[in-house]
Structure 1
Amino acid sequence: MKELGSDLVIIGGGLGGVAAALSALKLGRSVILTEEFKWLGGQLTTQAVPPDENPWIESDGSTASYRELRAHIRDYYRRNYPLTDAAKADENLNPGSGNVSPICAEPRAGVAAIDAMLAPWFATGRLTVLMNTKPIAVETDGDSFASVTVNSAEYGEIVLTGSYFVDATELGDLLELGNVEHVIGAESRAQTGEPAALEGEADPNDQQAVSWCFAMSYHPDENHTIERPENYDYWRNYKLDFWPDNQLSFIGPNPVTLEPDNRPLFVGDSDQEFAADNWHYRRIFYRRNHVGNGYPSDVCLVNWPQIDYCDGPIVGVSAQEAQKHLEGARQLSLSMLYWMQTEAPRHDGGYGYRGLKPAGNVMGTLDGLTIAPYIRESRRIKALFTITENHVGIDAREGLVGAEQFHDSVGVGSYRIDLHPSTAPRNYVDIANWPFQIPLGSLIPKRVKNLLPACKNIGTTHITNGCYRLHPVEWNIGESVGALAAYCLDHDISPRAVRETADKLEGFQHLLSSRFDVPLSWPKHIRETPRLELFGRVG
């Protein structure tokens, strides 16, 4: 069996994995980076979700390399597309002019940006990337990882060895394979003391819904109706007790008030720049940013409550059960598309938008669905420190201004505690909170010495996962983890000792802030501004 070795072995090529690779490479370390699918980028690319960011993102609250990622995405359009003069001149170009993010873009733009950032490192001989590769086994030596065996579609099974291993998988795969202590699902209030935690017992099967997103264009004079999905009748008649209408409708609950919220596909002209409808919500390509008639339609990404799959979890169950639910999520999404094409009430009267066309060429698939499902919740390490609602939630911190200030901060983030409907099943849990920090203790497992998390698998609870799972926070986590591994190797010290030794912690934090421009705290005026708004707009 083939064997490869490096200083860092990073399993998972999502945003956290890529950021970890870059910071370790910049500090002179060798890296093996693996990815399950054909694109790097995770939630930005294979899951195609525009970045959910803080409202100050253009100036505050991100690392230098995350700002570089965003700049590469915008430059991708400036270099390759026939932009209008106005679009070219827009310093903060939003390629899709979507409402949910200031940088809604096609997933291929994210792929190109990540490839550009990694490109200079291959010729150093210190970076190896294995695509279409999944971990299948972990060998341990006491409280340390010795190797991870992966299965590569191109090379077969490979044993990967390293000084440090990083779990940047979407579901925390190495935690299960390596018997690393971890938590699944929702904790109880008795366990965490969080006001929003479960009142009764913990429920490992209470996990946020996965969503199999898809993209579509619109051609009103054409018919692109897909074949009737196999499970269409099931989803057409499906209604959760707490849902205000059938699953296949334009009516869902408001995430905060839980009152019915009717958001139609179109409000007026689909070509207008902004509108309070589903088409503009996560639009990832706006044709009027471009000159000429080469683009017949905008492209809209469907990541709406209607495709949140609540019929069962994919973590903590058998492989067969997980696959059943993943296929269920695909069927739900295809059914939503078919319903919109054939039965949805039209904004101009009648039923069905037969001109909706799956945008498979944009998604890198044949059916318009994303390469991978959108994952909101993972296995989570039992960490030296666990972040709870009491550290960041406004109501939970009644009488206090700002989130808990962590002495071991390795970054910042800001997003509402946003828990989608779950597999319990239960409705949204959406809580206002303060701009927060990322404590180093949440990145260090209690027992295992040389494994670090770099995705949604850090030391959060089910509740706080809802605000630590977004794009810039995951990137910051990964960047800090890659730098931590390199720092530990340079100083012959363990991650735990870095946190527990004052001068080493100070040295590591200085490295992050001086070398990588990682913000360790928020400016006071932002730190004391509560996230009361929904979807990235300051309220």
Structure 2
Amino acid sequence: MNADVIVIGGGLGGCMASLSAAKMGLNVILTEETDWLGGQLTSQAVPPDEHRWIEKFGCTETYSEFRRRVRKYYKKNYPLTKASIENEFLNPGNGWVSRLAHEPKVALKVLEDMLAPYINSGRIQVLYHYRPVEAKTAGDLVESLTVGQLHTGETIELFGIYFLDATECGDVLPMAGVEYVTGAESKRLTGEPHASEEADPLDMQSFTYVFAVDYIEGGNFTIDKPEQYDFWKEFIPRFSKSTLLSWYSVNVDNPDRLREFTLFPNSQGLPALFTYRRILDVNHIEGNLYEGDISLINWAQNDYFLGPIYEVSEDQRQKHLKAAKQLSLSLLYWLQTEAPHLEGGEKGFPGLRLCKDALGTEDGFAKYPYIRESRRIKAVYTVTEKDVSKKMRGNKGICRYFDSVGVGSYHLDLHHTTVSHRNFYIPTYPYEIPLGALLPIRMKNLLPACKNIGTTQVTNGCYRLHPTEWNIGESAGYLAAYSILNQVTPHMVREDPEHLQAYQNLLEDNGIQLHWPEDIDFSHS
């Protein structure tokens, strides 16, 4: 099969890369391992992590359009209360992780609608259940990528002018011989205070198998005891004084003091984890359409950090995928049978029920694990801690790049890693996305379009979030299109001031914000 642009991976970055290239009149082939486009928002079941200014600025116009469409979808199709319909900033789940916690199926519908004109016209062809298996290269160019059908084993060789790796783990990079890094870099290499003393390519961030539950008071939906429950029930991470399955987690600001949680809102002021990633609050809805609120379970208690799922053998990969799902199942079983109630006495919440419809699966689990960290290209410019950390930047404020292709904002949030078990949560300034971080040091027609840009493990902790991945993919798609239409390479775009200005004008004309406002004091945010 042939197209101008080949996009491997149908997550948020891949969808937006495909959309922007198609808008420029190019033909696109987009592949996806599951049967759902949307990655973090859909097949991985993670409500959008966003910054405080998201309702006004700090994202691309298409991302704002997505958010408007989600709210409009609920107001048009759901029997909402009058107050909810009139709420300009409706949060369907009232989850406290996001200003727009909503059901993955709604995100899927909205994304499909945004892509529909280009898919229906054939401008974008989507191949579901395909993953990359081989790349053919000649020098600094990718000539073709072969993808395999996960169920039948059928393979298709894809030919294009540009190839975009939007996979969750940067799977195309090793196949195409792209220079990349994984896991933890050393302080000597990056100069980052929070980097490891020694590099360890297998010391990667934890990943999570998310699942959906509702709660039916008085019900009993206890699952069968999971195969690995006895192990996980007794497991105490070496970085903690408590068992993993408990109401306690490590306090990143004070490791000697644990943070305490509970399940539901309470008068004692403890954080309620059921409402943390709640995606449907029945108080918004007239009548009894839903039996109970729906929440996505993605907590510290089911972060899996005992081993990685790439850069290892297939046996190791499958072992860790199984163990991660067993951890999540064990968390659910513990919640249903043994979790202490805040008021004491009774244990367990058997009314918690797996919502098998919410995530489009038979078991109520996400179609794909939530991946926090990918292979990362060795880039023309690598973003390091000094670019974003408030402490390191001091009164210099936001790091502004001459070649910015977008903006984002989030803490440097590193979840426990697989070897050193490091974790931290560091305040940052809002950041920009430098074009240099999207350019491999050598390859000319392969671009990253997900979490695989030129960041370190430390800065991946903020560049991995939904709006940023969206922006990365969108800008990468326009970059491929600009390069094709002007017969230049992406590297030439950055090196030539006239091309760079024209490309950045293209981004701004299409609603991509390149810089943060200069009239706002972000130092106290």
Equivalent positions of 1:468-483 (< 5 A) are: 468-483=463-478
User: What is the deviation of 1:33?
Assistant: 0.6
- The equivalent residue for 2:258 is 260
- The equivalent residue for 2:418 is 423
Contact 1:256 1:431 in 2 (8 A): no
1:379 to 375, 395, 403: 375
1:185 to 183, 186, 196: 183
Matched, 1:518 2:501: no
Q: Unaligned regions of 5+ residues in structure 1, if any? A: 533-537
2:484 to 479, 486, 489: 489
Q: Unaligned regions of 5+ residues in structure 2, if any? A: none
SS of the aligned residue for 1:418 comes to strand
State how far apart, in whole Å, the 2-side matches of 1:312 and 1:334 are: 18
State how far apart, in whole Å, the 1-side matches of 2:65 and 2:153 are: 33
Contact 1:195 1:396 in 2 (8 A): no
- The equivalent residue for 1:130 is 127
Query: What letter corresponds to residue 209 of structure 2 in structure 1?
Result: W
Query: What letter corresponds to residue 381 of structure 2 in structure 1?
Result: F
User: What is the deviation of 1:244?
Assistant: 3.3
State how far apart, in whole Å, the 2-side matches of 1:525 and 1:252 are: 39
State how far apart, in whole Å, the 2-side matches of 1:256 and 1:309 are: 21
SS of the aligned residue for 2:461 comes to helix
Equivalent positions of 1:81-480 (< 5 A) are: 81-152=78-149, 153=151, 156-199=154-197, 201-258=198-255, 259-268=257-266, 276-349=271-344, 350-398=346-394, 400-480=395-475
Query: What letter corresponds to residue 50 of structure 2 in structure 1?
Result: E
State how far apart, in whole Å, the 2-side matches of 1:247 and 1:452 are: 39
- The equivalent residue for 1:76 is 73
State how far apart, in whole Å, the 1-side matches of 2:290 and 2:445 are: 50
Matched, 1:31 2:19: no
Query: What letter corresponds to residue 439 of structure 2 in structure 1?
Result: I
State how far apart, in whole Å, the 1-side matches of 2:188 and 2:153 are: 48
Query: What letter corresponds to residue 194 of structure 2 in structure 1?
Result: A
State how far apart, in whole Å, the 2-side matches of 1:252 and 1:116 are: 40
State how far apart, in whole Å, the 2-side matches of 1:122 and 1:430 are: 40
Query: What letter corresponds to residue 127 of structure 2 in structure 1?
Result: L
Contact 2:261 2:270 in 1 (8 A): no
User: What is the deviation of 1:155?
Assistant: 8.5
Query: What letter corresponds to residue 486 of structure 1 in structure 2?
Result: A
User: What is the deviation of 1:368?
Assistant: 1.6
Q: Do the aligned partners of residues 182 and 439 (structure 1) sit closer, same or farther apart at CA in structure 2, a change above 3 Å counting?
A: same
Query: What letter corresponds to residue 365 of structure 2 in structure 1?
Result: L
State how far apart, in whole Å, the 2-side matches of 1:197 and 1:205 are: 14
State how far apart, in whole Å, the 2-side matches of 1:524 and 1:331 are: 48
Query: What letter corresponds to residue 515 of structure 2 in structure 1?
Result: S
Query: What letter corresponds to residue 318 of structure 1 in structure 2?
Result: S
Contact 1:498 1:505 in 2 (8 A): yes
Q: Do the aligned partners of residues 316 and 196 (structure 1) sit closer, same or farther apart at CA in structure 2, a change above 3 Å counting?
A: same
State how far apart, in whole Å, the 2-side matches of 1:329 and 1:483 are: 37
Contact 1:13 1:169 in 2 (8 A): yes
Q: Percent identity?
A: 49
State how far apart, in whole Å, the 2-side matches of 1:496 and 1:244 are: 50
Equivalent positions of 1:2-41 (< 5 A) are: 4-41=1-38
Deviations 1:242-262 (A, max 9, x none): 113100011001233333111
User: What is the deviation of 1:395?
Assistant: 1.6
Deviations 1:366-400 (A, max 9, x none): 222111111000000001110000111112223x3
Question: Is the deviation greater in 470-479 or in 118-127?
Answer: 118-127
User: What is the deviation of 1:348?
Assistant: 4.0
Q: Do the aligned partners of residues 426 and 525 (structure 1) sit closer, same or farther apart at CA in structure 2, a change above 3 Å counting?
A: farther
SS of the aligned residue for 2:101 comes to coil
State how far apart, in whole Å, the 2-side matches of 1:108 and 1:150 are: 26
Deviations 1:256-303 (A, max 9, x none): 33331111011349xxxx983101111011011000122210001111
User: What is the deviation of 1:124?
Assistant: 2.8
Deviations 1:277-335 (A, max 9, x none): 10111101101100012221000111110011111111211111111111111000000
Query: What letter corresponds to residue 372 of structure 1 in structure 2?
Result: Y
Query: What letter corresponds to residue 190 of structure 1 in structure 2?
Result: R
State how far apart, in whole Å, the 2-side matches of 1:109 and 1:256 are: 36
Contact 2:406 2:512 in 1 (8 A): yes
User: What is the deviation of 1:525?
Assistant: 4.2
Contact 1:310 1:423 in 2 (8 A): yes
SS of the aligned residue for 2:157 comes to strand
Query: What letter corresponds to residue 234 of structure 1 in structure 2?
Result: F
User: What is the deviation of 1:7?
Assistant: 0.6
User: What is the deviation of 1:195?
Assistant: 1.0
Contact 1:311 1:425 in 2 (8 A): no
Q: Which TM-score applies when normalising by structure 2? A: 0.97
Deviations 1:93-138 (A, max 9, x none): 1110100100001100110011000111134331101111111111
SS of the aligned residue for 2:382 comes to coil
1:529 to 510, 522, 525: 522
Query: What letter corresponds to residue 407 of structure 2 in structure 1?
Result: V
State how far apart, in whole Å, the 1-side matches of 2:221 and 2:104 are: 23
Deviations 1:127-166 (A, max 9, x none): 1011111111111122111111111247821111100000
State how far apart, in whole Å, the 1-side matches of 2:106 and 2:458 are: 32
State how far apart, in whole Å, the 2-side matches of 1:484 and 1:233 are: 51
Query: What letter corresponds to residue 456 of structure 2 in structure 1?
Result: T
- The equivalent residue for 1:65 is 62
Q: Which TM-score applies when normalising by structure 1? A: 0.94
Q: Do the aligned partners of residues 435 and 261 (structure 1) sit closer, same or farther apart at CA in structure 2, a change above 3 Å counting?
A: same
